[in-house]
Structure 1
Amino acid sequence: GAPASLRVISSTGEASNAEDYRWLMESTGVPVIEYCGGTEIGGGYVTATVVEPAVPARFTTPTLGLDFVLLDEDGMSGDTGEVFLVPPSIGLSTELLNRDHHRIYYDGVPAWSRQLRRHGDQMRRDGSGRYQALGRVDDTMNLGGIKVSSADLESALSVVDGIGEVAAIGSPPPGGGPERLVLFVVPDPAVEVTTEEVLTKAQSAIRVRLNPLFKVHDVVFVGSLPRTASQKVMRRTLRAEYDR
């Protein structure tokens, strides 16, 4: 059990795994409060709270003083889409070091009743109104005509024996064509496996837990996954490395 002084656990930085957090809450008896934001907004834009039931890997409300909308590729609001912030809000950046602030956050943003600001996260709102992080928009891939997020794939692979950490990317074949599913895997040091064995197990897990149409093209073993200072997995770096 948890020490008596432990009242709450906070989590941020990367799309979380519901099974991991369910285990953590059951083991400690305290809620895991999800919190998602960014350095450039001075904090978070969506969070869970201590006054609502804790649901693993879910947020319950926009943070105080900031609102957002979810827009699909056609700029229509819905229950799944890219996060666009609704300014103004204390903490929003006004410039970027060595980059064009307006181009990054405002160019090409869909027209709305108010000026929106691009954030880049992808979220899903479930039937109860709670939010689930699906990773970054550039972490979404198209497999066989079906769009799927890296977060969904990595969640399905969390049960695979021999996988310590995993990052899923979509990689086009040389010359273009449908994206191929590539897995960068940090092997579990307690389990001795080959890339072929992990590929077979991963394919089985995806078939059962996600979609039988998704095929694993390749498995690459790595010593660690590249991360930002805030511990977000840099899938774009992995994609560039694989496509070289």
Structure 2
Amino acid sequence: MVWETIKKSAADKANASLPDPDAARKTFTWQEARESLDGLPGGGLNIAYEALDRHVAAGRGDTLAIRWLGQHGETLDLTYDDVLKGASKFANILAAHGIGKGDRLFSMMGRTPDLYFAALGTLRAGAVFTPLFSAFGPEPVRTRMEIGEASALITTESIYRRKIAEWRRDIPSLKLVLITGDDAPEDCVALAPEFDKAPDRFDPVKTGPEDMALIHFTSGTTGRPKGVVHVHEAVVTHAATGRGALELRLGTIYWCTADPGWVTGTSYGIIAPLVNGVSMIVDEAEYNLDRWYSTLEREKIEVWYTAPTAIRMMMRAGREAAQGYDFSALQFLASVGEPLNPEAVVWGNEVFGRPFHDNWWQSETGGIMIANTAAMDIRPGSMGKPLPGIEAGIVDTEAEGDALRECADGEVGELALRPGWPSMMRAYLNEEARYNKVFRDGWYLTGDLAMRDAAGYFWFIGRADDLIKSSGHLIGPFEVESALIEHDAVAEAAVIGIPDETAGEVVKAYVVLNPGQDATEDLERDLRGHARKRLGPAVAPREIVFRESLPKTRSGKIMRRLLKAREMGLPEGDISTLETDEK
């Protein structure tokens, strides 16, 4: 199906941070972006200083930084001055326990104010912040803390006793365990009493642009997870892309639904918004449709950054579930985590009065690289165009010789970026060969297959290892999944290739139905016919299997490679991030 372009009005373009994105790409320099930040007094760069101190110094200390919504109805407002004092207290606690520059603090807890004080206090102290998702099991936590040589940990008593206590002493680098609340198990330190007595002033440690600031763990298809290293200069990208891709400005009311245990929740749920002086909404509770709609209305959210999985869950509930809510405050909607199906873009426009703007980036890039910005006409299904300062291309990695061949418009190849943006990863922790492998012939190779059209929009095809080769056709699972989701009965879909003696591979689809739909043979035939009509017989699924759910990571990405491993009886690889399994 060809989706109509969603045209932006002259007012939308005039009010956007990048009124003419194509022109901005021609004149933008990273040096100018660096100069928009303050830097540490006397020289140096520290993320926490840019997020907090410079706003307080500019007289914005009384501005709301975080409105925290507790899962049981509590509300707590924290100004920039409040967060600065909380971060300073946490930095003083670390210093008192011998944790300083270069040490690595891991966090494993829910979205409470302590988490935000810890993240910014760690960076303020010159230590390295490493978030973990609180639903991880004991082995994934242990593996990551071993790889990262954890110096300190902040968590809850419940998580500690269930997931950490048994092996805590097997990590010799771990010197401090902070437990939120008033009490702590033996050999741990209760945070609340320490916080109460700690001074609320702490001069930021003089860190430089290339000093390590963040480690984000990302799973590989096989083997151990990768520790992606970012430095303090990443804040330059966070600041610039927060403005250009997400419309974050002083005083903007902003809600990022991603958990800080993931890279999105840290980069665009803590750093980018605070550096840009917004007022963040932080909801402790997990997804609940009525709660989310009520929050958008009550808090008058202006910019909303969420994930395709959540959008599809809202779509599954139907448009009628959104009726009666006032979404008129919404100015900009964005999505990240996996490709956004065109149906979801159009659905957002119909239900919220504005389309969802997809964007693309990775843990390795540290920030948004390609986006549909506020001034751009939206081509549903496209991830947009490269942001200012980013040079992206499509390359043929199988071309003869060492030099990569750049693909023509309309040709599928691997998405690649020219290195040099400030938030580019500096290493895979302790894996130099693995790191060097992703750089070739002056490009960073992303592992994603994509296509660029004649207008410069980029289109996601699939991960390189997800591509299906059938009877000479190269089939990207995303286009097949999108076609299936167009059917009124389908809520979610995942597609893999399975071996076939004649075709090499054929397409197999796993489908989750909308409420009220029955998994019948007639529906399966109807879906196959629908797909053939949309895609042609060479691309449409040969087999469709109904499931109650699909295997996903806790950040919402469908794990196609896990479906294929189980289909083929192959090793499943790293499944530490698995949240839901197919049934």
Alpha-carbon distance, 1:131 to partner: 1.6
Q: Which of 528, 549, 553 is residue 228 of structure 1 equivalent to?
A: 553
The whole-number CA distance in structure 2 between the counterparts of 1:141 and 1:214 is 9
Which residue is 1:140 aligned to? 467
The whole-number CA distance in structure 1 between the counterparts of 2:370 and 2:519 is 39
Matched, 1:209 2:209: no
Alpha-carbon distance, 1:188 to partner: 2.3
SS of residue in 2 equivalent to 1:39? coil
Runs of 4+ in 1 over 6 A off after TM superposition: none
Matched, 1:158 2:485: yes
The whole-number CA distance in structure 2 between the counterparts of 1:197 and 1:182 is 17
CA contact (8 A) 1:227 1:233 kept: yes
Q: Which of 11, 23, 30 is residue 347 of structure 2 equivalent to?
A: 23
Q: In structure 2, give the amino acid aligned to 1:192.
A: D
The whole-number CA distance in structure 2 between the counterparts of 1:130 and 1:231 is 25
The whole-number CA distance in structure 2 between the counterparts of 1:51 and 1:108 is 33
Which residue is 1:167 aligned to? 494
How does 1:75-224 map onto structure 2 within 5 Å?
Answer: 75-78=404-407, 79=409, 80-97=412-429, 100=431, 102-103=433-434, 105-107=435-437, 111=441, 115-173=442-500, 178-194=504-520, 196-214=521-539, 216-224=541-549
CA RMSD in angstroms, aligned pairs only: 2.5
Alpha-carbon distance, 1:227 to partner: 1.9
Which residue is 1:10 aligned to? 334
CA contact (8 A) 1:167 1:183 kept: yes
Alpha-carbon distance, 1:215 to partner: 5.3
The whole-number CA distance in structure 2 between the counterparts of 1:129 and 1:19 is 21
SS of residue in 1 equivalent to 2:510? strand
Q: Which of 40, 49, 67 is residue 373 of structure 2 equivalent to?
A: 49
The whole-number CA distance in structure 2 between the counterparts of 1:88 and 1:17 is 30
Alpha-carbon distance, 1:206 to partner: 2.0
Alpha-carbon distance, 1:65 to partner: 3.1
The whole-number CA distance in structure 2 between the counterparts of 1:161 and 1:58 is 22
Q: In structure 2, give the amino acid aligned to 1:228.
A: T
The whole-number CA distance in structure 1 between the counterparts of 2:540 and 2:388 is 42
> Relative to total residues, which structure has the larger strand share, 1 or 2?
1
Alpha-carbon distance, 1:204 to partner: 0.8
Q: In structure 1, give the amino acid aligned to 2:368.
A: G
Matched, 1:67 2:391: yes
TM-score by length of 2: 0.38
After superposition, the Cα gap between the structure-2 partners of 1:216 and 1:108, relative to the gap in structure 1 and judged at 3 Å, is same
Q: In structure 2, give the amino acid aligned to 1:209.
A: R
Look at both structures and tell me which one has the larger radius of gyration over its CA atoms.
Answer: 2
The whole-number CA distance in structure 1 between the counterparts of 2:373 and 2:498 is 38
> Relative to total residues, which structure has the larger helix share, 1 or 2?
2
CA contact (8 A) 2:345 2:355 kept: no
Alpha-carbon distance, 1:133 to partner: 1.7
Alpha-carbon distance, 1:106 to partner: 4.0
1:157-216 deviation per Cα after TM superposition (whole angstroms, max 9, x unaligned): 11334322110100114x89611211112232311122x334312321221111123353
CA contact (8 A) 1:81 1:124 kept: yes
CA contact (8 A) 1:70 1:82 kept: yes
Q: In structure 2, give the amino acid aligned to 1:184.
A: Y
The whole-number CA distance in structure 1 between the counterparts of 2:432 and 2:507 is 32
CA contact (8 A) 1:94 1:101 kept: no
Tell me, which stretches of 5 or more residues in structure 1 are unaligned? Answer: none
Q: In structure 2, give the amino acid aligned to 1:84.
A: A
Alpha-carbon distance, 1:153 to partner: 0.6
Tell me, which stretches of 5 or more residues in structure 2 are unaligned? Answer: 1-322, 570-583
After superposition, the Cα gap between the structure-2 partners of 1:3 and 1:230, relative to the gap in structure 1 and judged at 3 Å, is same
Matched, 1:242 2:567: yes
Alpha-carbon distance, 1:136 to partner: 1.6
1:107-131 deviation per Cα after TM superposition (whole angstroms, max 9, x unaligned): 38653xxx21111122221222212
